[in-house]
Amino acid sequence: MPVGGLAEAERVELTVDAVAPGGHCVARVDGQVVFVRHALPGERVIAEVTEVHRGFVRADAVTVLDPSPDRVEPPCPYAKPGACGGCDLQHVAPAAQLAWKTAVVREQLVRLGGLTDVELDRLGVRVEALPGGLLGWRSRVRYAVDAADRAGLLKHRSHEVVPIDRCRIAHPAIQQLPVLTSTGASWPAAEAVETVASTGGDVTVTAVRDGVPTPVSGPTEVREVAAGRDWTLPASAFWQVHPAAADTLGTAVLELLDPRPGEVAWDLYGGAGLFAAGLAARVGPTGRVTLVEAAAQGVAAARQNLADLPTVEVVSARVETALARRRITGPVDVVVL
| Cβ-proximal residues to 74 (8 Å cutoff; 6+ apart), any chain | 80, 87, 90, 91
Contact 44, 66 (CB under 8 A): yes
Residue 240 is labelled as binding a ligand: yes
| Cβ-proximal residues to 121 (8 Å cutoff; 6+ apart), any chain | none
78 burial level (CB within 10 Å; 0-12, 13-18, 19+): buried
Contact 79, 90 (CB under 8 A): yes
Q: What is the 3-state secondary structure (H, E, C) of 260-287?
A: CCCCEEEEECCCCCHHHHHHHHHHCCCC
The residue among 24, 42, 27, 32 whose CA lies nearest residue 6 is 32
Rounded distance between C-alpha atoms, residue 323 and residue 23, angstroms: 35
Residue 128 is labelled as binding a ligand: no
Residue 97 is labelled as binding a ligand: no
Contact 60, 48 (CB under 8 A): yes
330-335: long-range contacts (C-beta < 8 A, 24 or more apart)? 330/264, 331/264, 332/264, 332/265, 332/266, 333/259, 333/260, 333/263, 333/264, 333/265, 334/257, 334/259, 334/263, 334/264, 334/265, 334/266, 334/279, 334/283, 335/265, 335/266, 335/268
The annotated binding site for S-adenosyl-L-methionine is made up of 240, 269, 293
Binding residues: 240, 269, 293
